[in-house]
Amino acid sequence: MNSNQTSPESTSFRPFGNHGAHDEPVRFGAHLGSFLRRNLTWLLGAALALLALHDVFGTHGVLAMRRSQQEAARLRKEIQQLNDQNRQMQDRVKELKSDPQAIERIAREEMGLARPGEHIFKIPPSPQVDSTTNQAPAGEPAKP
């Protein structure tokens, strides 16, 4: 071959540098190991940052746990209120079963019942007067 011409071997692509004619090709594993040694700190830092983000913002992270605790506290408060209401209603039921005056009061006030010989007179409520204009609702005279 002419010195101006290059052999096909010398122009071949060598992905990991220009090695001599007698050098062995560098293996991928060696380059990977070298890359990991050079960038181990950055890779560990990135992994640690991802884990921290997941622990804070993830499905079972700190924020989700906080929301769950707040929801549990709200539900406990609601349960306590319902238990108090239930207790009041049970007391009212006991009162109605055992106190004849309470039964009579409900019969008179809510049901409009009366004892034999009693008469009930219902008086309609008086119409409200508008205090700003001193006028009664339409169709009624105004009060002085």
Closest CA to 119 of 110, 130, 108: 108
Per-residue pLDDT in tens (0 to 9) along the chain, 144 residues: 555 555 555 455 555 555 555 555 668 778 888 888 889 899 999 999 999 999 888 888 888 999 999 999 999 999 999 999 999 999 989 988 888 888 888 888 888 888 888 888 878 888 876 666 656 555 555 555
Question: Which phi and psi angles does 132 have, rounded to 5°?
Answer: -80, -35
Q: What does the pLDDT read at residue 86?
A: 98
User: What is the tens place of the pLDDT at every residue in 121-130?
Assistant: 878 888 876 6
- Alpha-carbon 75 to chain mean position: 13
d(CA 94, CA 5) in angstroms, rounded, equals 114
